[in-house]
Amino acid sequence: MNDDSLYLSTDKHRLDVGLIHAFLHDHAPWAKGIARATVEQAIAGSICFGAYLDGRQVGFARVVTDQATFGYLCDVFVVPECRGCGYARLLMQKVAQEPALARLRRIVLVTSNAHGVYQPFGFTALEHPERYMELHRPDIYSRGE
């Protein structure tokens, strides 16, 4: 792992919103077609984490939270050319160490293939999945809403 020059920050002013939007819009299965205005609004309402190499953003994560009881970790990514270097783990370390999240009773996330990134930080499968429900609108971004 080469993390010598990786810089992690929760400063929203440092975020490259263009990069975040492009990645989510074009590459993230959960956000394909998402509008930039939606990404901007999501960032404004979340605690955000940026990962930077030599001043260039290479990773992102955000937590939607009331900062008292609950959080939802989402939009976690490292750009493809920087994967395999341990940056996702370092990004998750930053999330795990965030004081605003330390007292939350529950943080949830959804992942299809990155369980190994989250398990070292205490994430497990739902203890009672039968209790969870969702209102899922998978095509909402393509409908222009």
- Which of the four pLDDT bands, split at 50, 70 and 90, describes residue 3? low
For residue 65, the cross-strand partners are 71
Which residue ranges form the domains of the chain, and what is each CATH number?
Answer: 7-131 (3.40.630.30)
Instruction: Give residue for tokens 């039968």.
Output: 130
**Start-end of H helices in 28-76:** 36-44
**For 55-88, what is each residue's pLDDT tens digit?**
999 999 999 999 999 999 999 999 999 999 999 9
CB crowding 10-48: b at 16 or more within 10 Å, else e: beeeebbeebbbebbbeeeeebeebeeebbeebbeebbb
Instruction: Tell me which residue of 35, 56, 55, 45 sits closest to 12, measured CA to CA.
Output: 45
How do strand 47-53 and strand 6-9 relate by DSSP bridges? antiparallel
Tell me the pLDDT of the chain averaged across its residues: 94
- Which of the four pLDDT bands, split at 50, 70 and 90, describes residue 144? low
Predicted pLDDT of residue 4: 64
Q: Reduce the DSSP state of residue 103 to 3 states and report it.
A: coil
- What whole-number distance in Å separates Cα of residue 51 and Cα of residue 73? 16
- What whole-number distance in Å separates Cα of residue 58 and Cα of residue 97? 20
**For 90-113, what is each residue's pLDDT tens digit?**
999 999 999 999 999 999 999 998
- What whole-number distance in Å separates Cα of residue 27 and Cα of residue 101? 28
